[in-house]
Amino acid sequence: MLWLLLGFAWCYALTVLNDRVVAHPGTSWAVSAAVLTGCLCLLLLSGPGPLRTLRWRPLVYAGALTYPFYLVHQSLGVPVTRGIIESVTGIGL
């Protein structure tokens, strides 16, 4: 059942990827899809596959410690960056 869910998530990500590639000129859908598929393959290999050492207990512990900082960075960083871009003229973005 989880493999089916993973397949649907991959298909959905490819359709959303099409919309994002159209919004950013100069990017290739094929290259973006290959990178997305490669990342998904790494995720699949890290389960029961040959990359299962990624489930090493210290790595899992470090991930659990740093994930809240990622969430704070995401929720605070985007509005701060937008505010800087709007207030500073000539920043080049």
Q: Which pLDDT score is estimated for 51?
A: 67
Largest CA distance in the chain: 52
Q: Record the tokens describing residue 22, joined without a space.
A: 């159209």
Measure the CA–CA gap between 75 and 79, rounded to whole angstroms.
7
Q: Give me the residue spans of the domains in the chain.
A: 1-53, 56-93
pTM comes to 0.55
DSSP annotation of 53 = G
* 86, 78 Cβ separation under 8 angstroms: no
Measure the CA–CA gap between 55 and 67, rounded to whole angstroms.
16
- pLDDT tens digits for 18-51? 888 888 788 888 999 999 999 888 877 777 767 6
Q: Which pLDDT score is estimated for 92?
A: 56
